[in-house]
Structure 1
């Protein structure tokens, strides 16, 4: 015998699964200063019509694509984010000349048309790595501060990361 709580939970689960949703966000986890980043947002309409797709960095919106608007694409000023509008569209945004200030959490948000205005988000982190000091050869050396789990304690360490020539 099922309780009314179980029934309501089952209905809520069905409501959450259906509708517009982000299926995958692709953000390069690590880049070197000056490189380009391609951010991709894959989504499923699930029978709904897309109203908008937006990109955010650390809670600040920097890109908006609304298919029914003219212009469809709008770019907002956010520190560390330089969008190449020529290579950006509904499914992909290209960032150029990334800097350490480009590091952060990147979130893709999709919103369905009325009457539902269903909204779904998914995010991923990107870290920009700076070049090491004193690298005079063509193979530059980079350092990344990481955390390693030794049993139950976390200890920071510096791990060398070598760029390919």
Structure 2
């Protein structure tokens, strides 16, 4: 057989058939692994706008499609602050990060709860999910978290006089307590926006 192989001429069409069969075998192999693949990784901030000094829940949703979970990692910017590894004891690991106070008891493979959120945490958060053998696939999702401060009182309206006649000049001031982002004030007179 070896002698026959050496005497056989390999033409361009033979190479094309050989490569075609190789591509088909690779597609079949990938489809077999595709049944155990990681899909639909999504990150949600709850609530969508987090009030300063309140808690934020980061929900990392994913579909392993039957593959075993290797790890889930949460990042603020490029820096990891929480990791879940089901194969280790303890499964949860928290990394120091200024301003991030993870609630260990409420955090797991699909969520991290951050207590007492401050303005410095406004910005990009991401979660990275990795499946274990045989697929070893990894996917990541990210989201912007906004930390807000609502005004502690209603806006106040001051006018120069208590009564006005048609043709009088109206001087008024509308003031809102501090907030972040800044409150947008709109003044209306007789249902007309000024």
Instruction: Report the TM-score, using the length of structure 1 for normalisation.
Output: 0.70
Match for 2:181 among 123, 144, 159?
A: 144
Question: Residue 40 of structure 1 is aligned with which of 37, 59, 67?
Answer: 59
Deviating above 3 A after TM superposition, structure 1's stretches of 4 or more consecutive aligned residues are 14-18, 137-141
| Cα separation, partners in 2 of 1:18 and 1:94, compared to 1, 3 Å | same
Count of residue pairs brought into register by the alignment: 137
Higher strand share: 1
Equivalent position to 1:84, from 103, 123, 134: 103
Q: 1:66 aligns with which of 75, 85, 105?
A: 85
**3-state SS, counterpart of residue 105 of structure 2:** helix
Q: Which residue is 1:20 aligned to?
A: 38
Contact 2:35 2:65 in 1 (8 A): no
Greater alpha carbon shift after TM alignment, 40-49 vs 51-60: 40-49
Over the aligned positions, Cα root-mean-square deviation in angstroms equals: 3.0
- Aligned match for 2:142, one of 123, 147, 153: 123
Give structure 2 stretches of 5+ with no counterpart.
1-19, 156-176, 186-194
Q: Is the 8 A contact 1:40 1:92 kept in 2?
A: yes
Partner of 1:159: 184
